[in-house]
């Protein structure tokens, strides 16, 4: 099994566990959205609209509201992250591992998103939180500017 496939399976299990714990139900629609999301959007940051349009190609009967609800469910169950890059639309990305954290540089010119991680920032951040007796649930670091392509010339 490829690493990507393994990752998908792990998220699937997390999701199934969540479904069971909360006494929710497995449905065709949730399966479809799960597969589309984890097959085609790993490492991407997709809007609800984009995912809906994509899914509609092969599953025209799936409703817009269901895609909204399901992505929210993915977030609640811990298999997806919601991102907001300042254009007023929520974006979702599949979570790669339970522990991994990464941040984003957003090009305000072309929209390109570059991901990065930095241990030192991570530890500074927790240090600051500890100093203020602040219990960290999550955090985000976003850098806005121009990517290398857009700032050359």
Q: Residues in the site for Mn ion, rule: CB under 5 A?
A: 93, 115
Nearer to DNA (CB atom), residue 84 or residue 123: 84
Kindly identify the residues of this chain, within the stretch 88-107, that bind its own copies according to CB under 8 A: 105, 107
Q: Output the CA–CA distances (angstroms, integers) from residue 27 to 67, 71, 135, 149, in the order listed.
A: 13, 14, 36, 44
What whole-number distance in Å separates Cα of residue 28 and Cα of residue 106?
Answer: 35
Single out the residue of 26, 27, 40, 151 in contact with its own copies (rule: CB under 8 A). Answer: 151
Among DNA, its own copies, Mn ion, none, the one that 17 touches (CB under a kind-dependent 5 to 8 A) is none
- CB-CB neighbours of 46 under 10 Å: 21
- Beta-carbon contacts of 37 under 8 Å, excluding residues fewer than 6 positions away, are 46, 51, 71, 74, 80, 92, 94
30-89 positions binding its own copies, by CB under 8 A: 84, 86
Residue 114 interacts with its own copies (CB under 8 A): yes or no: yes
Q: Is 83 in the site for DNA (CB under 7 A)?
A: no
């Amino acid at each position: 099994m490829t690493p990507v496939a393994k990752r998908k399976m792990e998220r699937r299990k997390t999701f199934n566990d969540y479904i069971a714990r909360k006494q929710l139900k497995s449905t065709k629609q949730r399966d479809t959205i799960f597969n589309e999301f984890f097959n085609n959007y790993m490492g991407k940051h997709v809007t609800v609209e984009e995912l809906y349009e994509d899914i509609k190609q092969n599953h025209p009967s799936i409703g817009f509201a269901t895609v909204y609800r399901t992505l929210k469910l993915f977030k609640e169950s811990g298999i997806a992250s919601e991102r907001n890059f300042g254009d007023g639309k929520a974006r979702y990305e599949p979570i790669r591992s339970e522990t991994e954290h990464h941040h984003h540089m957003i090009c305000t010119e072309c929209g390109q998103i570059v991901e990065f991680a930095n241990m030192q920032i991570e530890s500074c951040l927790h240090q600051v939180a500890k100093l203020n007796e602040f219990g960290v649930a999550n955090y985000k670091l976003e850098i806005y500017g121009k990517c290398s392509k857009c700032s050359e010339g």
